[in-house]
Every structure is written in structure tokens, then in C-alpha cells.
Amino acid sequence: MPFATQILLGFLVKSIASFDDTLTRIPILSEMTQTPKGKVVFSIGTILALTAILIIAIFFSFLFDLIPFRRPVLAVLIAFLGLVVYFELLVPKEEPKLKQNISQLGSVTSTHLFRLLVAGFVISFITLLDDALVLVPLFIGDGRNKLITSIGVYIAAFLQIFLVIFFSRTIEKIKYKKELATASLLVLAFLVLVGVV
């Protein structure tokens, strides 16, 4: 597969994997800090969390390589994840309390940037944990070539961070969020099943 195609594939899969995060959860977390420096530090935590998620995805890809009919199994798991998103089984029930905690963290000063970095990592890791399953198909098979797709994954992550920081209010106004997120995961499940991803 051409170099550019692999990067594009990583970009598309990551975009789909984080579609539910961008539309339903991460816009809330973007309110954690109001300063440009704080947003950058929190974003660094997000990138570090993504790196940890990629390591987890690569590890599980080795395990799935040992399973017969791995693509149908992955497709079913991703489709199930889509249903989980649709029925909001992973959305915190105490959302008002979450928003209150976020607003309190918004007062973090420059002397507490490390605290904000850790918060960015932990919250992003929890939010992106389901992405590990969706990213697994990228690393099945020839791992050396598939690792190139990680470039596309990071490009998508930086674009997502940009959107969350500058367009979170616009994103929150989008209708049918969970329906769009679910549909994107079901489409990805089909692509995994037929071997496109």
C-alpha cells in the first residue's frame, strides 16, 4: 500500500474512532482551562494519552493476529461499540458534577501546569480508551508497514484538538450527535469486515 494511502487510512480511522469523543464528550473537557498556555499543556497530555492508546492497540493487534476469523470478530466488536455509544452507556451519569469539577480546574495557574498535564493525560486516556479497539485493525498483518498509519492517526489527533479548542461551542450545537457517531462506527465495522481497513 502506498505511503500516502497508509497515512490517509490512519487519519480516517482515527477520525472515525474519535468521532463520538469530539461530538459528545471532549467539547465539555475543552472548558478545563481558559488560557492558551493551559490549553497547550492539556493538549500535550492528550497526545501522550494517544501514544499510550496506540501502544495498547499494537499489543492487541498481535493477539488478534493469532485468532482465526479476526476481521469478523473485530467488526462485531466495533459494531457493538457503536451501540454502546448510541445508548450512551459510557457517558458519565453525573455530568453536572463533571462540569463543576472542570470549571474548578479552569483556574489552574502557570505554577500548576504539571497538574494540568496529568489531568489532560488521565482524562484523555479514559476518553480515548475505546479508540484502542477501533485502531487495532490498522496494525494487523504487516506491522512494519502499518506503523506508517500512525502518522495519519497523529494528524487526525492534532486536527481534533484544534477543533475542540477553537470550535467546541459550534460542535456542541450539532444535532444527532450520537446517531452520527454510531453510524460512523458501523461503517468502520463494515470496512473492517470486508478488508478495506
Domain residue extents for the chain:
3-193
- Round to whole Å and give the CA distance between 85 and 103: 25
More confident residue, 98 or 188: 188
- Round to whole Å and give the CA distance between 103 and 33: 8
More confident residue, 173 or 131: 131
Residue indicated by cell numbers 501522550: 48
**Average of pLDDT values for 123-131?**
86
Which pLDDT band, with edges at 50, 70 and 90, does 19 fall under? confident
pLDDT at 27 > cutoff 70:
no
Note the pTM of the prediction, 2 decimals: 0.84
More confident residue, 108 or 19: 19
57-65: Cβ within 8 A, 24+ apart:
57/131, 57/132, 57/133, 57/135, 57/136, 57/138, 57/139, 58/139, 58/143, 60/132, 60/133, 60/136, 61/136, 61/137, 61/138, 61/139, 61/140, 61/143, 64/136, 64/140, 65/140, 65/141
Q: What does the pLDDT look like over 81-116, one tens digit per residue?
A: 999 888 877 655 444 554 555 555 555 555 578 888
Longest dimension (CA), the chain: 52
Residue 150, CA distances (Å) to 57, 59, 107, 126, 154 in order: 11, 14, 34, 20, 6
pLDDT of residue 94: 45
